[in-house]
A and B are shown apart, each in its own frame.
Chain A
Amino acid sequence: MGAAMRFNAMHFMPYVHLPENHKEYKSTWVSFPNKFFDADKGHDLYNRYLQELVLADKLGFDAIVVNEHHNTVYSMMATPNLIAAALVPQTKNARICVWGTPPNFMLPNRLAEEYAILDVMSKGRLEIAFPLGTGMEYWSNAGNPATAREKFKESLKIILQAWKEDGPTTHYGQFYTYRFLNPWPRPYQRPHPPCYIVGTGSPETIEIAAELGFGYASVFVTQQRAYELNENLRQRASTYGHTLRPDQLPLLTFIYVAETNEQAEREYIVHLQRFFEDYARTSPQFLAPPGYLSVEQLKMRAAMADKMHGGFDFDAISKSFFISVGSPDKVANQIGEWSVKMKTTHINNVMHVADMPHWKTVKNLTLFAEEVIPRLRSRQAPSYRMAAE
């Protein structure tokens, strides 16, 4: 079966005005002093970033993607549903992806309600990803990392029950009691908007996605690991009787398109470097609060971190992750190859990083929409054997 390819534009909405002395801080997350936030500059950035996502809709991106982080310059979207609500009336066609709010930091009925509101307001354009939340979020929010996975599962159960079953229903669990689970409104899409789990591929989270038949959006994993993760999820999902479609495995890419490969690298690499070194800078303590990972995962990740020590190396990092920087031909070819290898039709493109200025973002979005997407769409639609075939 062939399937149309789908292209998202994702934005982190970072706060870009880092103080001169920011390198003195080991982490730009969790404990990075919020006195460095200037509301006037923040106001300008929100307006600018919203414009960029609205532009993505106008240019024909299939979806725009927002997500949630706390206490950090990395993202100004502490509550992405507010951002999505601002985008709904300003956009026409693009699906609105909130990928997403960690259910552990919100009452499940309220999250079910907020997503339903967005879905009804947008007449069924909402898509949702449920993250456990990074380790950093557990330092910034109230919630025990040692019981995070149990609570996550219970929250998902409540949210899905709220959407799928006619209310009122009840829920008596370890973390929550609902005597009248009966949220208004209900989602526009029945029984509920498309759902994904988003994460870095810990086996525990994969299993949740497999059991529920959800898609899985892997983030910040290497190409090899993303491949293994997708294969593993397909296999695990099949044991629960689910067959994953190619569009349920979005591929996270970092993209910059310019006239030539050289010009693209000249315009982009400095921002990508700042993204990794400054905006994603955090500490081992914040990455792994106690109980957030299994001991096995902690040891595996610590061993991996040891290997990855050393300065920013664009060549190495772009070979390791899905990072495509270059002319429309180069970017289209790379994405085409990756989609075949990863057996996905769903490309989730980060189109802005770090302190990339507005003009580069507009250029990147425009060239991708007008030069890259048509190149990929004109190809023979890739064909995938489904796991069940």
Chain B
Amino acid sequence: MAKFERETYNINGVKTVVHTAGHGEPLVFFHGGGTVDGFDFAEPWTSKFRVIAPYHPGFGESGDDPTLANMHDYVMHYLELFDVLKLDRFNLVGLSMGGELAARFASEHGHRIKKLVLIGPSGIIDPQHPMVDLMAVPGDQVLGFLVSNMDVLLKRLPENPGLDFMGDRYREATTFARIYWEHPGDPKFMRYLHRIKVPTMIVWGDEDKLIPVEHTETWKKFIPNAEIKIYKGAGHLVHLEKPEAVEAMGNFLS
């Protein structure tokens, strides 16, 4: 399996770091509202795809966008990045917040997307099954909402997280807050989901403690032809907990 290579771009003044590996059709991966889960889970895809995993502005190795105010700013950022990368049409996979972003991108620029995969995407407002407002959760309890099997996450974390690790998480929480603090759910988001016409797969862990698996029902309403895959015994980070989910996504995109 190919190793990821790191490239840095200046996108409209924002340092943007992109990890790329593999050959084949392009597959863009949008990470979620944190970056501790890393990109290595995607290595199996690199045998069939050129996997392109950018860090969003304000996350991981990318720089900050001091004007960032909402999800649509990310859509504009990625339109510019994809121009620079000369990516015309590609597969798009998004996790959690990155899933919401991917769905939004697809609802606006569907002709750029070949196939779409959403992993436990945020964005649905369902008063009967509200997602957890992660910002109200104390830092030391956040991990408990992410996985069913804590081991898959713990091995990705430093043994003794120091001030730098704490600062990195605080920075990402700050970026998250710029988008979500005032409006944890965008009431307009669902209004345009029906525009997604590309082949779509939606992947969820049935033990997701952050975004209830019942949200798949709402997604089905907006994207009736979407293939729904629910993995038993997996939490929100189903892509870390279930290698077979990663394989299924790769097969769907092939």
Binding site for B on A (CB under 8 A): 142-147, 283-285, 288-291, 293, 295-296, 298-299, 302-303
* Complex interface: stretch among B96-104, B176-184, B208-216, B227-235: B176-184
Instruction: Give chain A residues whose Cβ lies under 8 Å from the Cβ of B149.
Output: none
CB-CB under 8 A from B177, the residues of chain A are 144-146, 289-291
**Which B residues lie at the A interface, using CB under 8 A?**
135, 138-139, 163-164, 166-168, 170-171, 173-178, 181-182
Q: Do B170 and A290 touch across chains, with their CB atoms under 8 A apart?
A: yes
Q: Which chain A residues border B135 with CB–CB below 8 Å?
A: 289-290
**With A145-B181, A283-B138, A285-B138 given, is the CB distance from A290 to B163 under 8 Å?**
no
Check B170 against A295 for contact (C-beta < 8 Å). Answer: yes
* 7 new A-B contacts at CB < 8 Å, known A295-B167, A296-B167, A303-B163: A284-B139, A290-B174, A290-B181, A291-B178, A295-B168, A298-B167, A299-B164
**CB–CB B163/A302 < 8 A:** yes
CB distance from A139 to the nearest CB of B (A): 8
Chain A residue nearest in CB terms to B64: A295
Within the complex, the shortest CB–CB distance from B162 to chain A, in Å, comes to: 9
A8 CA to B138 CA in the complex, in Å? 38
Contact of A298 (CB < 8 Å), options: B166, B175, B181, B182: B166
Please determine whether B138 and A290 come into contact, CB atoms closer than 8 angstroms. Answer: no
Least distance between A121 CB and chain B CB atoms (Å): 35
A291 to B173 alpha-carbon distance, docked (Å)? 7
A234 to B86, CA, bound (A): 53
- Scoring A288, A290, A296, A299 by chain B CB atoms within 10 A of each residue's CB, the highest score goes to A290
Report yes or no: B167 in contact with A290, Cβ–Cβ below 8 A.
no
Interface of chain B: mostly helix, strand, loop or mixed:
helix
The CA-CA distance from A285 to B135 in the complex, in Å, is 9
| Known A147-B178, A291-B177: A285·B139 in contact at CB below 8 Å | yes
By a CB distance below 8 angstroms, the chain A residues around B173 are: 290-291
Give the shortest distance, in Å, between A141 (CB) and chain B (any CB).
12
Across-interface contacts of A142 in B (CB, < 8 A)? 182
Complex interface: chain B residues within 8 A of A291 (CB): 173-174, 177-178, 181
A293 nearest CB neighbor, chain B only: B170
A352 to B138, CA, bound (A): 32
Contacting residue for B178 out of A146, A298, A303, CB 8 A: A146
In the complex, A288→B176 CA distance in Å? 14
Q: Check A290–B166 contact: CB distance below 8 A.
A: no
Tell me, in angstroms, the Cα distance from A130 to B136 when the chains sit together: 27
12 contacts between A and B (CB under 8 A): A285-B138, A288-B170, A290-B170, A290-B174, A290-B177, A291-B173, A291-B178, A295-B168, A296-B167, A298-B170, A299-B166, A302-B163
- Give Cα distance in the complex from A25 to B2, angstroms: 51
8 smallest CB-CB distances across A and B, nearest first, come from A290-B173, A290-B177, A291-B174, A146-B177, A144-B181, A295-B167, A299-B163, A290-B174
Collect the chain A residues with CB atoms within 8 Å of residue B181's CB: 144-146, 290-291
Looking at the assembled complex, report how far the CB atom of B147 sits from the nearest CB atom of chain A, in whole angstroms: 21
Q: Tell me, in angstroms, the Cα distance from A283 to B140 when the chains sit together.
A: 11
A147 CA to B177 CA, complexed, in Å? 9
Instruction: Find chain A residues with CB under 8 A from B174 CB.
Output: 146, 290-291, 295
- Look across to chain A and name the residue whose beta carbon is closest to the beta carbon of B68: A146
Closest to A283 in B: B138
Tell me, in angstroms, the Cα distance from A339 to B166 when the chains sit together. 38
The closest CB in chain A to the CB of B69 belongs to A147
Residue among A142, A283, A289 with the most chain B CB within 10 A?
Answer: A289
Give complex CA distance A293, B173 in Å. 11
Residues on the B chain within 8 Å of A143, using CB: 182
Q: How many angstroms between the C-alpha atoms of A299 and B169 in the bound complex? A: 11
Can you name the residue of chain A whose Cβ is closest to the Cβ of B176?
A: A290
Contacts of A299 on B, CB cut-off 8 Å? 163-164, 166-167
B141 to chain A, nearest CB (A): 9
* A-chain residues with CB within 8 Å of residue B182 when the two chains form the complex: 142-144
Known: A295-B170, A302-B163. A144 touches B139 (CB 8 A): no
Q: Which residues of B contact A145 (CB under 8 A)?
A: 177, 181
Closest CB-CB distance, B229 to chain A, in whole Å?
32
Nearest residue in A to B183 (C-beta to C-beta)? A144
Shortest beta-carbon distance, B107 to chain A, in Å?
25
B178 near A144 (CB under 8 angstroms)?
A: yes
Q: Which residues of the other chain, A, contact B167 by a CB distance below 8 angstroms? A: 295-296, 298-299
Distance between A284 CB and nearest chain B CB, rounded to angstroms: 7
Identify which of B168, B170, B173, B178 gathers the most chain A CB atoms within 10 Å of its CB.
B170
A288 to B173, CA, bound (A): 11
A288 to B177, CA, bound (A): 12
Q: CA–CA, A289 to B180, complex, Å?
A: 13
Report the separation of the CA atoms of residues A283 and B137 in the bound assembly, to the nearest whole angstrom: 12
Q: Chain B nearest CB: distance from A94 CB in Å?
A: 39
Shortest CB distance A163–B (Å): 29
A299 to B168, CA, bound (A): 10
Nearest-CB residue, chain B, relative to A31: B136
Which residues of chain A have C-beta atoms less than 8 A from B163's C-beta? 299, 302-303
Could you say which residues of chain B place their CB within 8 Å of the CB of A283?
138
